[in-house]
Amino acid sequence: ATMASDEPKAKKIKLADVEDEEKKADPNSLFGMGNPLLDICAVVDKDFLDKYTLKPNDQILAEDKHKELFEELVKKFKVEYHAGGATQNSIKIAQWMIQKPHKVGTFFGCIGKDKFGDILKQKAEEAHVDAHYYEQDEEPTGTCAACITGDNRSLVANLAAANCYKREKHLDVEENWKLVEKAKVFYIAEGAAFAKEQDFETKDIKEIAKKAQALPKVNSKRQRVVVLTQGKDETVMAQGDKVETFPVVKIDPKDIVDTNGAGDAFVGGFLSGLVQEKSLDQCVKAGHYSANVIIKRAGCTFPEKPDFK
């Protein structure tokens, strides 16, 4: 009789195990911090490019002569707004890959107390990202204008408020720091030309991955994992003394619309796997999938749901 009563219990445990395997990431378990920009996209005419001396296909930082560009873009053309900036893009894509629960991704950055800041907050909310912005009124919200002519995109970024983040006024505030403590995975982008900076004296991507992996590390309990992407060429991952390569998803060049957000999208896909405790191979595959989706669309945008198995 004892045996009989034990059996259903055993079955229950097995079911619970299965449910655990499929368990999604917890809210606020992924934390990102960077420069939040409001992407303002519009199809423009040649006169507009000429007025602001913009090349049809380019990425530049705004100078004084571009100050009026953002307001004029909004007034003159039909614009689309998206929450942007590299780190915020990656957190947004990770959240899209995960779908539920909402607000797995937390994002910190600095914006202005203005109309563009309000739109950015609304766009982050629509993307189900838990964005907590430090708001100040010395500088306006950072923006990135995407001026589209045909297949070309001329990007003009004005970092403005994005450069004004104050740790002591935001990160160190108790309720914000609690969100940092809830996170398991942290992403803060660094844009330095890493190998050059480190004097690696090699352009061989596998060698660079190996050398970066072997750099001194404060936390010796966990090995560093280095992942390097190379556009359409294979992705390289170094872990321990092992270097692996992963081919990217094949794509017909005529299906490529815009490669600008590809790197952010790869990171977002990779992070979505990492925060769900998937194997690193699976994380790379998720990164390849999301990058493949993003390059077929204009801007760092995506369909309603991912189709990634």
pLDDT along the chain (309 residues), means of 10: 43 44 81 96 96 96 96 96 95 97 98 97 97 97 95 93 96 96 88 67 86 85 88 91 93 88 95 96 97 90 90
Q: CATH number, domain at 72? A: 3.30.1110.10
Spell out the residues 6+ positions from residue 230 whose beta carbon is closer than 8 angstroms to its own: 205, 236
Q: What is the pLDDT of residue 5?
A: 41
User: Is the residue at 208 inside a domain?
Assistant: no
Q: What is the pLDDT of residue 300?
A: 83
- Looking only at the bridges linking them, the beta strands covering 242-246 and 233-239 are antiparallel
User: Is the residue at 168 inside a domain?
Assistant: yes
- Helix, strand, coil tally for the chain in percent (to 5): 40, 25, 35
For 130-167, give the secondary structure using H, E and C.
Answer: EEEEEEECCCCCCEEEEEEECCEEEEEEECHHHHHCCH
Q: Which residues are catalytic?
A: 264
User: Is the residue at 243 inside a domain?
Assistant: no
- Print the domain residue range for 76: 30-189
User: Is the residue at 180 inside a domain?
Assistant: yes
User: Is the residue at 96 inside a domain?
Assistant: yes
Structural domain tally of the chain? 1
User: Is the residue at 250 inside a domain?
Assistant: no
User: Is the residue at 247 inside a domain?
Assistant: no
Q: How far is CA 252 from CA 4, 212, 235, in A?
A: 60, 33, 18
Q: What is the pLDDT of residue 158?
A: 96
The one-letter amino acid at 178: K
pTM for the model stands at: 0.86
User: Is the residue at 67 inside a domain?
Assistant: yes
